[in-house]
Structure 1
Amino acid sequence: MTRKEITNLRNIKWRTRRDLRITAEEDALDFIDDVGFCFAFASSGIIAGSRQLLTEATEDTFANNLLPSLWEAVCGVPGGIPAIHPHHDPYIGPVWGWKDALPLKRKVFYGKVLKQKPTFISLKMLPYFYALFGSPTPEEDYLEECQRGALGQEAKDIFECLLRSGSLPNTLLRGELGMLTKARKYRFQRAMTELQSTLRIVKVDVSDDGTIWNLFSRWMPGVIKAASRINRNEAMKNIVLAYISDLVIITPKMINRLFGWDAKVVEEIVQLLAQEDKVQLGVRIEGFQGNWIRKVV
């Protein structure tokens, strides 16, 4: 394959063409359902407007395009369009609205999951993510996870507060925990990211006091039930296949970089997919060294 071919296919999939750009909420939902999971805004390390140069990129830069993003699809341009006035930007504005509207209608999941960045996950893919990152009995095993260091103290306190009180907005939640001071704000935000990335809490509404949070287990118990029937290998295989569909062609290092999985585990999953004739290994990109992976059509 050539870099130009791959870039053209990515631009179609990611809607980073002006004739494919997203302009309505229903189109945003279709996009998230199509890609399975994406960032709300640009991938880390991507400078606005830079993705159109991928046909001339180095191998490392080419492989650094981690995920599509809703913002870039709204812009209809690879890398997005730099905002002159972020609070009144015609491209960022719709994304800010949809990141509230779509999750509140329970049409997608939204939270800081991948790379600790705001991430959309489609309802179809959500059970696979929960099978990996979530707990089958989150309201029962959090104490054990805290004891073995898998859950931080502040995260435990927040989880217990929501378990005890139900839905709470940011300000009241911080007040309940005595974390209203500026000095404790960072620790609160870090703990909230920890709970989101393990799918323990979820945004359920917005108010004048900020985002309203509740336990994921109360928001979508059906997802937890569906995830209980999925083993880790099956979850990883489906997530990797969706990732390859989005990126067209990837390397094991890209999987490791995005999901944080051990390199040995990534290799095992890739080999399983190859044995099932779902991916092709050893694909070459013209002008690049190394072997790449693509989905078998």
Structure 2
Amino acid sequence: MPRCPLPSEIEEYRDALWQRENTACVDTALQAERFIERVGFTACMTDARQPGPSLYVAVCGRRDAIMPRNVQKDPESSHTWMLKDELVRRGRVYYGKLARGKAMFLAPRMIPYFRALWGVPRREEKKRLSRSALAVLKMLRKEWEMATADLRAGSGIADRKRFMQALDELQMAMIVLPSEVVYQPKFSYLWGLAEERFPQELVRKVDRQTALREIARCFLAGAGLTIPGELARVTGLSRPEAGLGNRALVEEGYAVMVTPGTYRLAALTVAALYERRQFSSLENRRRS
């Protein structure tokens, strides 16, 4: 579906905040971590055809970045993939398949809000998780960290598809995440418990209304303006939930409703856009 064109000043605002400029390309793991902390949450391997911030687009440093069909021979795709592996290994940002199976990075500050919406509390695991997911989880709680093949064997799930679905289910419940990537003797993820890596963030209690508002705030801060359905597509929220989050921002004066479903950052005046652009240029020169 073609994307609704945005005002040029909004695209330029996003260029600066989402690092879609060749003067602000993400090259190292440290730069990637700073990018994720700045945007709050981001997709990993999406391109210009999908909305929202993207690590791949930030690596490319251009607004119109399109991932080629043969990604194995594409240096930017390969570099993004290697950065992803290094970020998983470093463990300073959250990575996993979240709502609707979207592979995303979260800054630690955003983990409590995502968990409030999609996490499964321990007391509800037996009621909400499938038998396969419970079998995988039981094995991980015994061993704490296991390679994919060992985890599958230990959980007793012979069917590979059912096992991978169980892993996806546990990731979307924010219980399990990849903790390491190994390439020898063969490629495999190591899997661990999310609570082991991010204990403080995952025990913080947040109500659903606050979570919707703060996720909407985080996205709008980087987007400048959000159009109908955009927040829902980026995060996996339903459209009504995304609307609740955006309207909460309007009530507190953080956002302005331009038309139904379209919200603009209240502080985003022409003067503010110019100042942001000047500041971004200085920051880019400093980073380079």
TM-score range, shorter chain: 0.7 to 0.9
Which residue of structure 1 aligns with residue 91 of structure 2? 106
For 1:60-96, what per-residue CA distance to the aligned partner results, in whole angstroms no more than 9, with x for missing partners? xxxxx42111111111122425447533532122222
Distance 2:63 2:238 in 1: 30
| TM-score, normalising length: structure 2 | 0.81
Gaps of 5+ in 2: 268-288
Distance 1:216 1:29 in 2: 18
Are the equivalent residues in 2 in contact too, given 1:42–1:79 (CA < 8 A)?
no
- Correspondence list, 1:203-214, <5 A: 203-207=178-182, 208=184, 210-214=188-192
- Correspondence list, 1:182-201, <5 A: 184-201=159-176
Specify the code of the residue in structure 2 equivalent to 1:119. M
Specify the code of the residue in structure 2 equivalent to 1:232. R
Are the equivalent residues in 1 in contact too, given 2:37–2:107 (CA < 8 A)?
yes
Distance 1:164 1:277 in 2: 49
Which residue of structure 2 aligns with residue 89 of structure 1? 74
Which residue of structure 2 aligns with residue 237 of structure 1? 213
Which residue of structure 2 aligns with residue 173 of structure 1? 151
- Correspondence list, 1:1-297, <5 A: 3-42=7-46, 47=49, 65-83=50-68, 86-135=71-120, 137-138=121-122, 140-145=123-128, 151-179=129-157, 184-207=159-182, 208=184, 210-225=188-203, 227-228=204-205, 230-282=206-258, 292-297=262-267
SS at match of 1:42: coil
Structure 1 pair 236–84 and aligned structure 2 pair: CA distance change class (3 A): closer
Distance 2:237 2:125 in 1: 22
**Pairwise CA distance, 1:25:** 1.9
**Pairwise CA distance, 1:231:** 1.5
Distance 1:235 1:85 in 2: 38
Gaps of 5+ in 1: 48-64, 146-150, 284-289
Structure 1 pair 31–260 and aligned structure 2 pair: CA distance change class (3 A): closer
Q: More displaced, 154-163 or 201-210? A: 201-210
Moved over 6 A (4+): none
Are the equivalent residues in 2 in contact too, given 1:130–1:223 (CA < 8 A)?
no
Which residue of structure 2 aligns with residue 62 of structure 1? none
Distance 1:8 1:186 in 2: 43
Distance 2:239 2:81 in 1: 35
SS at match of 1:91: helix
**Pairwise CA distance, 1:35:** 0.7
For 1:31-80, what per-residue CA distance to the aligned partner results, in whole angstroms no more than 9, with x for missing partners? 1111111111115xx55xxxxxxxxxxxxxxxxx4211111111112242
Structure 1 pair 291–214 and aligned structure 2 pair: CA distance change class (3 A): closer
For 1:247-279, what per-residue CA distance to the aligned partner results, in whole angstroms no more than 9, with x for missing partners? 221135223334444444433333222111111
Are the equivalent residues in 2 in contact too, given 1:278–1:295 (CA < 8 A)?
yes
Which residue of structure 2 aligns with residue 52 of structure 1? none
Distance 2:208 2:68 in 1: 40
**Pairwise CA distance, 1:14:** 1.8
Are the equivalent residues in 1 in contact too, given 2:212–2:241 (CA < 8 A)?
no
Counting matched residue pairs gives: 260
Specify the code of the residue in structure 1 equivalent to 2:60. C
Distance 2:9 2:154 in 1: 54
Distance 1:245 1:7 in 2: 13
For 1:231-250, what per-residue CA distance to the aligned partner results, in whole angstroms no more than 9, with x for missing partners? 11111111101111222211
Q: Percent identity?
A: 24
For 1:126-146, what per-residue CA distance to the aligned partner results, in whole angstroms no more than 9, with x for missing partners? 1221222224x42x431132x
Structure 1 pair 32–261 and aligned structure 2 pair: CA distance change class (3 A): closer
Distance 1:256 1:85 in 2: 29
